[in-house]
Amino acid sequence: MKASSTANANIALVKYWGKRNKKFMLPQTGSVSMTTEDLQSHTTVEFDPKYKEDVLIVNGKEYKKGDEEYDDYVGLFLGVVREMTGKDIKAKIVSNNNFPTAAGLASSAAGFAALAAAVNEALSLGLDDKQLSMLARRGSGSATRSVHAGFVEWKRGEEEDGSDCYAEQLFPPEHWPEFRMVIAVTSKKDKKVKSRAGMKQSVATSPFYKSWAENVVPNHIEAVKKALTEKNFKTLGETAELNALAMHAVAIATKPPVVYWNAGTMDIIHAVMDWRDEGLECYFTIDGGPQVKVMCLEKDAEEIAKRIKEFDNIEDVIITKPGSGIKITDNHLF
């Protein structure tokens, strides 16, 4: 009962920010994303009676009961798995990310998508992609999207048991192979306010939340889906950028304020606007963290990366494109 899987982080073009049901991890709104090719989690899981307690090791660091990373995430997820299977067998999980963890680069999305796939394989559950998407969601909402390759829509659903809340692929990576995101990593430190906590605060206290969820997001989802269908880069970039700004406006207006941006974030925001005025077509998006993802086409990616590297507040630059979904691998981490 041992298996390994890889999964990639996804970057939201239309953001998910806030739950309506914590137990089933149901979102207030739908969302649309791009699964990356280069930001990968590699996870091995083994279920065995020899383990008296669950073992969780992420990037070489062990977490146990009582640690937030275990109790609020993996512990709850394994509880869901045990409820599904009726098997109360302890597990050892080892996971490595090739990109900063808990820093606003969707490490939990990649991690739980990989874990869901590995659990499915190790326990021979026979889940299809839709069911895997729903299982991954129980660990981290955005993980539901990382199950799939390319461009993905997470459907909000209406049922309170989550039976109609899942992600599905809109287009495979080869639909738009020229699409790129240049990621400006402005800090590799753990963010002070985790997305889960920030979302909860925003739903409860932000005066802009209701309008954002009911009016802004549905319109943006339709606009982005149409732009993806037509490969209309201008409309896609403008809509995704506006959506990101709207989400952060909601977060900033939360009590207490949830402000993820740092000096490097602001440098790149202003630079992208300036570059666009100069005729270099690019747009930015920012998830729950300080990192800026600059959307562009392949022909401009290297030039944008070169310009970003010239700023003082940048720790790394990553160029990524539409990538693959979950994959089972024989490369075990233990």
Check whether 321 has a pLDDT greater than 90.
Answer: yes
Structural domains of the chain sorted by starting position, each given as residue range(s) with its CATH number in brackets: 2-172 (3.30.230.10), 179-320 (3.30.70.890)
E strand segments, 246-297: 283-285, 292-297
pLDDT digits (tens, 9 = 90+) for 255-310: 999 999 999 999 999 999 999 999 999 999 999 999 999 999 999 999 999 999 99
Q: Are strands 283-285 and 26-27 parallel, antiparallel or unpaired?
A: unpaired
Amino acid at site 109: A
Q: Is the pLDDT of residue 73 over 70?
A: yes
Q: What is the pLDDT of residue 333?
A: 98
Residue 214 has pLDDT above 90, yes or no: yes
pLDDT of residue 68: 85
Share of the chain above pLDDT 70, in %: 99
Contact present, 136 and 166 (Cβ < 8 Å): no
Check pLDDT > 90 for residue 44. yes
Given this model, what pLDDT does residue 106 score? 72
pLDDT confidence tier of residue 105, bands split at 50, 70 and 90: confident
- Predicted local confidence at residue 192, as pLDDT: 86
- The secondary structure of 47-114 as a DSSP string is E-TT-SS-EEEETTEEE-TTSHHIIIIIHHHHHHHHHHH-----EEEEEEESS-SSSSS-HHHHHHHH
The mean per-residue pLDDT over the stretch 57-74 comes to 91
pTM above 0.75, yes or no: yes
Residue 104 confidence (pLDDT): 66
